[in-house]
Amino acid sequence: MTTNTGNTKGGSTNGRSVLRNFAPLIIDVAVPLGAYYLLKNGFGMSTLMALGLSSVVPAVRTGWGVWRAREVNGLAALILFVNVVSLLLSFVAGDPRLMIAKDSAVSSTIGIGIIVSVVLGKPMMTAGMKPWVVKGDAGREAAWGRLHAGSARFRRAERVFSLVWGVVLLVECVVRIVGAYALPVDTMVWLGNVIMVVAMAVGFLAGGALGAGPMAAMVIAEAKSAAQAGRPVESGLASFEKGLATANLATAK
């Protein structure tokens, strides 16, 4: 009976950890994108109305972060910005080639936002990649926190992962714009989707090889090392704060 209860508690804890890790990705990306397609395709709303209503969640998240924590929520702000750009571009009409080219503006906006986040030292793609590395495991989450606080190699891989995605999305934008004016319109109607799929595949493969893969290996190795040494499991945030305090103390000395 005791063992089963312990397993139940452990499963519940892991479930909450998984939900906590995926929460930013769900709230900041999945909810607004899902709302847009549901409103547009499910309820038959206009593109303008669907974009406007789907912007409510990221707008609230961004405003709440600025008011409560005095910081901008990166993912929410980016999705909000993309929606605003899309709203403005929705008024562009007439030239079919321009209509095809304007679709690439979303990719370019996201790509630029991701690259800027790397320059600012807050890689935006981390929120989407971390759950796949941590997998809701407390040991891995603690290992992530320790590595983020004390490993320059880990932070470099984190930046590279976001940078890869930023560059891929910008390249996709350029290719689609060139294709919109160099190829027949009928060709670009279907080729644009192929370009997007290829770009996503390149992003996953290159980002995994250069960023996510090395980070996952480091997290697994660190978690195993901590388990073998009998170190207590800490939350990622607690481990990060401890590492930061240690670094500040060493600097002060």
Give the pLDDT confidence of 229-244 residue by residue, as tens digits: 775 555 444 444 454 4
**Tokens, residue 243:** 């590492």
Residue at token pair 């407390």: 138
Percent of the chain at pLDDT > 70 equals: 58
Specify the pTM.
Answer: 0.64
- Dmax over CA atoms of the chain, in Å, equals 71
Query: pLDDT tens across 18-42, in order?
Result: 555 556 556 666 676 677 778 877 8
The residue assigned the tokens 């901008």 is 72
Q: What is the pLDDT of residue 226?
A: 87
Which residue from 222, 74, 209 is spatially nearest to 144, judged by alpha carbons?
222
Which pLDDT score, from 0 to 100, does residue 196 have? Answer: 79
Q: What is the pLDDT of residue 132?
A: 84
* pLDDT tens, position by position, 200-238: 889 989 999 999 999 999 999 999 998 887 755 554 444
| Encoded amino acid at 5, one letter | T
Q: What is the pLDDT of residue 237?
A: 46
Pair 108, 114: CB distance under 8 Å: no
3-state secondary structure of 54: helix
Mean pLDDT per 10-residue interval, the chain, length 253 residues: 49 55 60 74 74 68 62 60 64 64 73 90 86 86 92 95 93 89 81 82 91 93 86 50 46 46
The DSSP output letter for 70 is: S
What was the pLDDT predicted at 206? 94
What pLDDT, on a 0 to 100 scale, did the predictor assign at position 249? 45
Domain range annotation of the chain: 1-91, 94-253
Q: What is the pLDDT of residue 34?
A: 75
The per-residue pLDDT for 80 is: 63
